[in-house]
Amino acid sequence: MHFAVHSVMPARPLSTRTGRDECCLVLLRGHCTVEFSRTGGERQVATLGPRRDVFTDYPHALYLPPRTELRISATEPTEIADGRAPARAVHPARIVRPEDCGFEIRGGGNATRQIVDIMPPAFPADRLLVCEVFTPSGNWSSYPPHKHDVDRPPREVKLEEIYYFRFDHPDAYGLQRLYDDRQDRTLMVRHGDVVAIRRGYHPFVTAHGYNAYYLNVLAGTRRSMAASDDPRYAALRQWPAPDPRLPLVAPPGSRWQRGAGVV
């Protein structure tokens, strides 16, 4: 897998190629156009945004197949995430609008979080799977601890994963534990940090007072997010009521009432 975040300024476009990879561009903030074409194909243009920031608006994204040349031109200061993985098959380019993205409140109590699917398993792509996760102040996510490092479908599939973090305050931080029978580490993560997960369980908690966002980019040999819980904590899926602070970002077209969720 490959992951980067590009800052694109007006009058300073960014040009790149996907090579042998498929690619998902996720707008983090700003407004831009992406001109792209596959080798020997016609030029196309996609507009992404505007998005004020990840804690205010739903995402805009663009999926691109291998052997695509692209040029990103911004109309205002823009930040865009670029996740890639080697592709075995070619699927058409596709724009993902906010109204195309999913909405799920997962968990309960102080392990409640919001999931926004951008490229779920049903998305027509080869390897890439992409979603955004919003975790309110003091809450846990990726919980109970789970892993996806063994290919034994349908219970679990092998996936590598990127966590790209953003927080709603410059002093904010969170903790991510990475562990299995060979390692046990806890990382402090702050705004802009990236964690690459190749194996093991990987729960996350954000410090009290600060809401957290992370972009998940995954890739494996199957289009599935099947994972295995750590058996010591699996029974905790008997969730209490969801945290009423969620959603942190309301889906397009909804009316959000704190304490009442999306109506």
Go through the domains of the chain in sequence order and give each one's CATH number: 1-100 (2.60.120.10), 102-249 (2.60.120.10)
Q: Which letter does DSSP use for residue 99 in this model?
A: G
Check: CB of residue 176 under 8 Å from CB of residue 195: yes
Both tokens assigned to 251: 């889906």
Q: Residues with Cβ < 8 Å from 251, sequence gap 6 or more?
A: 58, 98, 99, 101, 103, 262
User: Which pLDDT does position 253 carry in this prediction?
Assistant: 79
The pTM of the full predicted model, rounded to 2 decimals, is 0.95
What pLDDT is recorded for position 256? 57
Q: How, if at all, do strands 204-206 and 140-141 pair?
A: antiparallel
Q: SS3 breakdown of the chain: % helix, strand, coil, rounded to 5? A: 5, 50, 45
Contact 135, 206 (CB under 8 A): yes
* pLDDT for residue 228: 97
Mean pLDDT by 10 residues, the chain (263 residues): 97 97 98 94 95 97 97 98 96 97 97 98 97 98 97 96 97 98 97 97 98 98 96 95 96 64 47
Alpha helices in 139-244 (DSSP H): none
Separation between Cα atoms, residue 30 and residue 34, nearest integer Å: 13
Mean pLDDT, rounded, of the chain: 95
Q: What pLDDT score was predicted for residue 110?
A: 97
